[in-house]
Structure 1
Amino acid sequence: MATVEKVQKIKADARKRSKQRVDTRNELASHAIMALSELGYARTGLRDIATLSGRSVGALTYYFDGKIDLIAYCVRLYKEQFVRQIDVAMAGHNSSAEVIEAVTGAFAWAIEHDAHKHRLWYDIRSQSLFEEAFRPVVREIEDNLIAMVVRFLSRLGRPDDNGQTTYFLLDGLFRVHLQAALEGDTRAPENLKAAMCAVLDSRE
């Protein structure tokens, strides 16, 4: 085999191994999210996650540098998915009213169907006040969420320099109505939509 072909094969094999590693980490993270979203950070250990995923603790520590690394990866993964959901909701709509309806609907869907996952985000964000290791991923996620809100404002034709402030307002509403949903309030998604629309109207 020619040297160039050998190099290409080595590169191809390396890409394959890298993809397999990412796929395995994502699979483990999906099981970990299930455990963490139910029990919370403090009450979930690597053994709980290993049991739920059908893997050994050794397998988890092979792919992740301990519990904090695994949790940070999990939170980053599902928050990236959430941002994509909001971006998809924004796409394909022309009028501001349609964009607002789609985006507030996506937020409402999130607390109706993924409340426990989002609860984990607020858990980890609070933990970052005490656990320095969580701070980089929390900053990264919040930067991505603020950027998402800036894109939202841009679609509405509004100044994007209000992105951070608008994010804090929407995030506060989301957290309050998420709490209500977790406490069994079936009207929480609908109430969230109404509250978000009121805030957006007041800032027009």
Structure 2
Amino acid sequence: MTSTREARRAPADKHDARRNELAESALRTLGEIGYAKASLREIAHNSEFSHGVVHYYFHDKLELIVYCVRYYKAQCVTRYDAVVEDATTPDGLLDAFAAKLVETLRDEAPMHRLWYDLRTQSMFEEGLREAVTLIDSTLEQMIWRVVARYAELAGRAPALVPAAAYGVLDGLFQQALLGHQTGDPVAAQRVLDDLVAQVHTLMPLMLAP
């Protein structure tokens, strides 16, 4: 019985695995050239897959991009879970949280550029709106877990609602991302240092007196 179920499941599993492979490949191209310049043909040209293969698994660019962003953000939303689980002091949590922000900004800048690009495009592209709204909500919840844990460790209550806390930290991260794209290593490192300092300054302000 088990073998039969596995055999029936195999085609779907292989289909999903190939879509995930295509998403990983496409994300690299999308992160470099952005939403507007990307097409299925361009994405295929910059990957190991042919245009025909890409088109077989995704009807159009919009379907591919929505899938890509869902795939990437599904991996991102657990990024700070260890920060929350391992923290035993408020300052320790801030140190770990700021370090993780710096790490993801430095190592995955193209993916974050793509995310902000798509979030802006969703204001004009209705087909993107549902996925972007859902992903934004999961990111808000992710950040709120950090803020709520920080408040708990500090023995105080949060002074902001989740949406406001997310807006503050997301805005801080986006500004740091912009500043990090200067091409000047010294200036880029200064942006990262400022990000760490701002996290330590702003997080206490999110707590009630």
Q: Deviations over 1:34-75 (max 9, x none)?
A: 101111111111112112222122211221231011111111
Structure 1 runs of 4+ with >3 Å offset:
158-161
Contact 2:160–2:206 (Cα < 8 Å) also in 1:
no
Look up the match of 1:109: 103
Q: Distance in 1 between matches of 2:30 and 2:126?
A: 19
Look up the match of 2:75: 81
CA distance 1:15–1:177, change in 2 (3 Å): same
Q: Deviations over 1:122-163 (max 9, x none)?
A: 000010011000001111111101111221122121449621
Q: Distance in 1 between matches of 2:97 and 2:173?
A: 12
Normalization by structure 2: what TM-score?
0.88
Look up the match of 2:168: 169
CA drift of 1:190 comes to 1.6
Aligned residue identity for 2:131? V
Contact 1:46–1:60 (Cα < 8 Å) also in 2:
yes
Look up the match of 2:17: 23
Identity %: 34
Look up the match of 1:14: 8
Q: Does 1:197 pair with 2:200?
A: yes
What is the correspondence of 1:46-195 to structure 2 with a 5 Å cutoff? 46-156=40-150, 157=152, 158-159=157-158, 162-184=161-183, 185-186=187-188, 187-195=190-198
Gaps of 5+ in 1: none
Which moved further from structure 2: 64-73 or 89-98? 89-98
Contact 1:109–1:189 (Cα < 8 Å) also in 2:
no
Aligned residue identity for 1:93? A
Contact 1:153–1:160 (Cα < 8 Å) also in 2:
no
Tell me how large the CA RMSD over aligned residues is.
1.7
Normalization by structure 1: what TM-score?
0.90
Q: Distance in 2 between matches of 1:70 and 1:39?
A: 15
Q: Distance in 1 between matches of 2:98 and 2:44?
A: 36
Q: Distance in 1 between matches of 2:51 and 2:88?
A: 50
CA drift of 1:167 comes to 0.1
Residues paired across the two proteins, number:
198
Q: Distance in 1 between matches of 2:158 and 2:10?
A: 44
Q: Distance in 2 between matches of 1:99 and 1:74?
A: 31
Contact 1:29–1:74 (Cα < 8 Å) also in 2:
yes
Q: Distance in 1 between matches of 2:128 and 2:11?
A: 28
